[in-house]
């Protein structure tokens, strides 16, 4: 049903397959609204959630998606793993596969590790975030949320605000959104915009007001305080004044802009609490769509039956 066996990233991923995933996700979204939220689609399939990096929401979202589809799930996290005993990435992967599983959902701190994993195992691999590279399932739920709100993604103007350099969400959003025909502007401190990013088909701006005036929606990225320690931006105070989505700023713009955030939020830093909880924000819709999107991805990649 999908052209590729794995979901490693959205770079060069077929646009029609992204659309298929989103359309399927809307069907599962209906399932999630039912009193009984479980379907037998992936009964008998086994999925391992292989998390080499801490994650709460993505792991729970995947686990719920698996359980709603009646798959058997096993969780593996780095803190409890044999990695600490010196086992290599390859051995860990091959050991898990030897137990006869159907898919691996992996989060790993290193770019490219999901691609590497496909060389060591036959199972379907789904990238749940590889370092600062890609986070394709997040981008798919972002696009689903935009489609829910606007009817379609093509032609939308979307701003991505914050630390673009270290954001896997930004990269997958850029690949996915441009592939579906949206216009993208990235906006953040110049030290957190990676070089030559215009080559990915986006516009760069350092003027948040201008981006908000232009955009239909903005995705507000979490700013990590540890980036400040190495001098990538001087202070939270200045960050907030230049790039914070504040009530005052939105009032000044005087125009409706849809606010998204991949979480976890630093309320009062990159986004005001009032904004996050306000009518313009679709942050909790994103969370629900995340479960539906991941159900769709698992379902389509594991060849489940309706």
Question: Taking CB under 8 A as the rule, does residue 11 contact another protein?
Answer: yes
Whole-number Å distance between alpha carbons of 127 and 26:
21
- List the interface residues with another protein, window 101-140 (CB under 8 A): 108-113, 115-116, 130-134
Question: Taking CB under 8 A as the rule, does residue 44 contact another protein?
Answer: no
CB atoms within 10 A of CB 187: 25
Count the residues of the shown chain that bind another protein, applying the rule CB under 8 A.
Answer: 25
Shortest reach from residue 175's CB to another protein, in Å: 9
- List the interface residues with another protein, window 154-173 (CB under 8 A): 168, 171
- List the interface residues with another protein, window 20-39 (CB under 8 A): none
- List the interface residues with another protein, window 190-209 (CB under 8 A): 194-197, 199-200
Which of the 8 DSSP states describes residue 221?
Answer: P
HSE-CB of 83 using CA atoms within 13 angstroms: 16
User: Given the DSSP bridges, would you call strands 124-130 and 183-187 parallel, antiparallel or unpaired?
Assistant: unpaired
- Nearest one of 247, 193, 180, 262 to 15, comparing CA atoms: 180
- Nearest one of 290, 305, 286 to 61, comparing CA atoms: 290
Whole-number Å distance between alpha carbons of 146 and 253:
21
Q: Which of 64, 83, 89, 204 binds another protein (CB under 8 A)?
A: 89
Shortest reach from residue 231's CB to another protein, in Å: 11
| Strand ranges of the sheet holding 157-161, from the earlier edge strand across to the other edge | 203-205, 183-187, 157-161, 217-220, 258-260
Question: Taking CB under 8 A as the rule, does residue 86 contact another protein?
Answer: no
Question: Taking CB under 8 A as the rule, does residue 6 contact another protein?
Answer: no
Shortest reach from residue 127's CB to another protein, in Å: 12
- List the interface residues with another protein, window 253-292 (CB under 8 A): none
Residues in contact with another protein by CB under 8 A are 11, 88-90, 108-113, 115-116, 130-134, 168, 171, 194-197, 199-200
């Amino acid at each position: 049903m999908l052209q590729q066996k794995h979901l490693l990233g959205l770079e060069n991923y077929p646009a029609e397959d992204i659309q298929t995933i989103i359309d399927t996700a809307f069907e599962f979204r209906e399932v999630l609204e039912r009193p009984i939220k479980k379907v037998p689609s992936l009964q008998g399939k086994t999925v391992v959630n292989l998390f080499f990096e801490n994650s709460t929401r993505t792991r729970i979202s995947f686990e719920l998606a698996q359980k709603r589809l009646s798959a058997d799930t096993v969780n593996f996290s780095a803190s409890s793993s044999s990695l600490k005993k010196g086992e290599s990435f390859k051995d860990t992967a091959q050991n898990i596969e030897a137990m006869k599983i159907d898919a691996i959902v992996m989060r790993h701190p290193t770019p490219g590790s999901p691609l590497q994993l496909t060389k060591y195992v036959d199972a379907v691999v789904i990238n749940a975030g590889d370092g600062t590279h890609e986070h394709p399932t997040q981008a798919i739920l972002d696009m689903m949320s935009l489609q829910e709100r606007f009817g379609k993604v093509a032609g939308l103007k979307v701003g991505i605000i914050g630390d673009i350099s270290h954001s896997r969400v930004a990269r997958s959003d850029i690949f996915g959104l441009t592939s579906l025909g949206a216009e993208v502007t990235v906006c953040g401190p110049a030290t957190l915009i990676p070089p030559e990013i215009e080559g990915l088909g986006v516009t760069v701006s350092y003027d948040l007001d201008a981006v908000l005036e232009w955009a239909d929606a903005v995705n507000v990225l979490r700013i990590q305080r540890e980036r400040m320690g190495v001098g990538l931006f001087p202070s939270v105070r200045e960050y907030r004044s230049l790039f914070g989505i504040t009530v005052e700023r939105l009032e000044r713009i005087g125009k409706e802009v849809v606010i998204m955030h991949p979480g976890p939020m630093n309320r009062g830093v990159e986004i005001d609490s009032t904004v996050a909880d306000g009518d313009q924000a679709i942050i909790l819709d994103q969370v629900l769509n995340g479960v539906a999107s991941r159900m769709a991805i698992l379902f389509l990649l594991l060849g489940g039956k309706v």
